[in-house]
Structure 1
Amino acid sequence: MNRVDAGEPGAPGSRHLVSPLLPLALATFAVGTDAFVMAGLLPAIAADLDVSIPAAGQLVTVFALTLAVAAPVLSWLLSPLDRRKALHLALIVFVLGNVATALSPNYPIMLAARILTALGAATITASASSAAVAITSEERRGRAMALVIGGLTLSTALGMPLGNLIGSVDWRLTLWAVAALGVVAAIGISVSLPKVALPATSLTARLAPLRQTKVLTILTATLLVMAGHYAVYTYIGAMTTEATAGSFPQALTMILFAWGVGVLAGNFLAGHLADKLPALGVSLAALAGGTVLLAISPLTVSHLIIATVWAAIWGATDGMASVVQQHRLVTIAPASAPLLFGLNSSAIYVGVALGGVLGGLSQDRLSITLLGVPAAVLALLATAVTFTEGRAKNQAKVSAVEPEYSR
Structure 2
Amino acid sequence: MRPLYLVVMFKELRETLRDRRALSMLLLFVLMYPLIVGGVLHQQIGRATEPEKEGIELTVIGAAGAPTLMAQLKQRNVNVTEAGAMTEDAITTLLRGQKVAAVLRVPPSYGDDYRNMRPARLELWYDSASSNRRKLNDVIGVVEHYGNAIASARLLAHGVSPATLFPVRLQKYDTGTSASRSATMIGTMLGMFFVPAFFFALSSAVDSTAGERERRSLEVLLAQPARTFDLVAGKWFAASLLALVGLTVELCLAHAILKWLPLEEIGLSWRLAWSDLAWVCLTSLSLPLFAAAMEIALAINAKSFKEAQTTVSFAILVPMVPVIVVPMLDLATANWMYLVPLLSHQTLLRELAKGQALGALPFALTFGSSLVLALLCVAFTVWRMRSERYLVGV
- TM-score, scaled to structure 1: 0.33
Higher relative contact order (Cα pairs below 8 Å, separated by 6+ residues): 1
